[in-house]
Structure 1
Amino acid sequence: MPPHLSADRPAAPPPDGGPVEALITQTRRLKGEVDAVRRDAPADLTDPRGRWRQALYDLALHHLDDLDAHLAQLRDGPAPAPGSPPPAPPPSQVGSAEWNLLTDEAVWSPELQQILGRDPAAAALTLDELPSVVLDEDRPRLTVMVTDCLIDARPIDGEFRIVRPDGETRVLHIMGEPVLAPDGSTNSMWAVLRDVSELRRSQRAVRETRDSLHLRRPPAPSVRPPAAPSADAGPDPEPPPWHASLRLPRGGGPRSLDLAARHLPGATGSALGATWFDTLELSDGETLLSMGDLTGQGPSVPSSLATTVGALRGMALAGTRPGQLLSLLSQLIDADARPTLAGALCCRYRPATRTLMWARAGHPAPLLFRDGTGYRLDAPDGVLLGAASGTAYGQAQETLVEGDLLLLHTCGLVPGGDPAATSRLLDLAPRFAAARDARTCVDTVVETFGRTGRDSDASVLVARVTA
């Protein structure tokens, strides 16, 4: 198999970076603005609130640095061919490795040797030798990940700590996959390892300083299944649309969709960004289902989120289809004076024909469950809203049948953006088929993925076709 290349060895950039170059420009502009605000903001590090603010700025810059590096790798392409010396790289944060199980040979990139504090010319560690540099309490975790990969052919996605020769402890995030032979056996395993020590340190600083200030987010309102209003009771107050709006059609007539949703706060109570989910009955009898997340920090986030969801609702009521709606919404966000990026999923359901039209912008695709089997709907990808001006978004269409179940979720549902998340969700298909209603399905997702333990907030929405 071809060698796996590190993000720190760029080739010559193509003549025209196109949309990727635009994303890099946006990211670097945002980095500069965040850094300028951080420098101008008073930072009394003897005060817990001052430390908390400084830690949040540092955390935001860490995320932007990572985004900048990954986009640059995407733009620059693979490393130069052997024999063409690349420029001396800065201290690396990303390296790669491959372990051949047939020959017991291990091949590491120089960047990985650097991350572990080893001589680049030293022999790479085999899978049997790798635990020798891993912290004792993390060895069982690494063993389970590697065993699942080699025996059950599962992708690896997790973290463990290593001890460098100088005694320093570092946190590594590993993502890898098995390479299978034609008979289904595992020939080799490759992985990309990233040093996330500084990122985790920044997150811990934010959490600790927030806790010292007793900053607590108000609990998200729970979502009740729609029910016909009582004749002698006043109307229930409707929560803000970015938390939930799951209602019966006007007049309380027969419903075409059984709806339920849940907002799951991150374990750290992160003040960076926010998520939303929303449903709305439209004037033509169709139903809008939307979901997304918004970057940002501070008191402007609720205002930006309300503006985003309000604009989305308004354009949907005017009849704008999902693809065009996301294009217009991206222009609106891009024109805002406050630097913001948003991921979004916009669906429009027509009950008369059971047709679902949808588009997405940097957001997981909907999952469809039918007759005890689930699969991911395919559609053209779209960049985050506000990432590049003039972006066009593709649109897909799916015909549903009675009993079908749609599951929408934000990226934060699974800690660390686990690439196996979709498979884990699809494995719930038999339980969804046996569930009595949409709310039971949402409860199943929450039970499976847990209410805590994720790095950021998450939302999940289930819509079941009932007529």
Structure 2
Amino acid sequence: MGIPHGKDGGAGDRRAATLADTVDRLRAELEQLRSAAGTTAVLEQAKGLLSERLGCGLAAAHTHLLEIARDSGVTPEVAARLLLTPEPGGEGRPSPGGRTIPDLVARLRAVSRTPAAPPPGPAPPAAGGLGEQIEQTQRIGNLGWGLWDLAGGRIYWSDQLYRIFGRDPSEGPLPLDRLPERVVAGDVPLVVHLVRTLLDGSEKVDNEIRILRGEETRDVRLMGEPVLDAFGMPAAVRCICQDITRWRLGERALKASRVQLERRLIAAERHQAIEMQRSILPLPDGIVTKPGLRAAVRYLPAGHSARVGGDWYETTAIDGEGVFLAIGDVSGHGLTAAAAMARLRNGLSGLAFSGAPPDRLLGWLNRLTLHWPTSLTATVLAGRYDPARRILTWAQAGHLPPLLIRDGKAITLDPPEGILLGAMEIPEFELETTSLEPDDLLLLYTDGLIERRERGLQEGLDLLIRAASTADSYDPEGLLDHVLRAFGAPNPNDDTCVVAIQIE
């Protein structure tokens, strides 16, 4: 009999494979542990930062971190990393704020509404027990009360009310008509109105005011009601004041942290959108030469940090088909608009090689727009330039018509019919033919150039025509520089794309 081969070798291979799987699994688990440890460290640092800013404990800081993440639409880990990112420009960290007391106040109100069972342990002393508890309640809640006896002319203040107003008890309480003297100037009309309301006996008051206590300003909640006699006339006024300064400081610090996080999220999204645009839509340096024409391009992102848009252009030479020209603008801003811009531009660039006329290309592009996962609209102008005959055949989908500059005079070309992409299932696009001459200039542009909040579309178009007609140079780059100078600063709310084409 022969000796069998491969049995022991097969078992060895299986053991080696099992060992390799085990090593891979252990490596993956080690990476997970490292990642979890890193995440935990970031969360702890962010909690420490919030604890310092808000003047609260680590548990409360953790709660605030979760609230910030929830309100900002990001995970707690992302929120923590963004909060720990240094401020641009070298701004200092906010000074630590005070602790808030909403939990203490809520407990006191609950106790006042619902009798609670006595806690285990020794009972409080019977003599003076209630008075001591009231005093402690005022101290913990920073609450003080006052009573103005209008009939007898006497005024009573609790010890805590003296502390809230920073007033020496030896000076006595303040009359109602002198309360406006102790508030900031901006709150004087409000306090005068509140005092009059109480003295008229018409209704209760509950407002926040800012009082002056030495060199500092304190936020105080003032709650008061008139006490009426048998004839319905005010006989006294009762008020409760609560110093809520630390609460408001905590709220302002928390709001500042949220604003900081939102600003950094917006800046991160803007950076990603601009990088995406640059990778998809590289801007040429200087003049671009195509068969029968020379072109220059300018692209200006929106001045506002949150509004990177989806403007784009295309100039492509196609063998036997002349030069394909296009410019467009996708609705919306940010990464969504940049991604949609890439899809439409690439789609149209590919369709252009089919040799189909521009009106048919726009019809196909409209179908592509309708199948975008989210609601989307866009404007596009597309054309084919025949350098042999100097003829531009073009169509538009809700886009602004080109500007023709000939012999120093600028006019707007009459646009063919066409509705913006994504508005209808089966739109109709007409085709237009324009004969051009040597040294003619065409200006293609998006609405960010001429439309501003402070002026209408027609006013901006008139400005563009004047600027193009008075240019010092009719070189493509010289024309673009002159036009952009005429419009001043970039549009703060929308991107701007301008293409100048000179016919040879």
Using the size of structure 1 for normalisation, the TM-score is 0.48
Q: Which has the higher contact order (CA 8 A, sep 6+)?
A: 1
As a proportion of its length, which structure holds more helix? 2
- Larger-gyration structure (1/2): 2
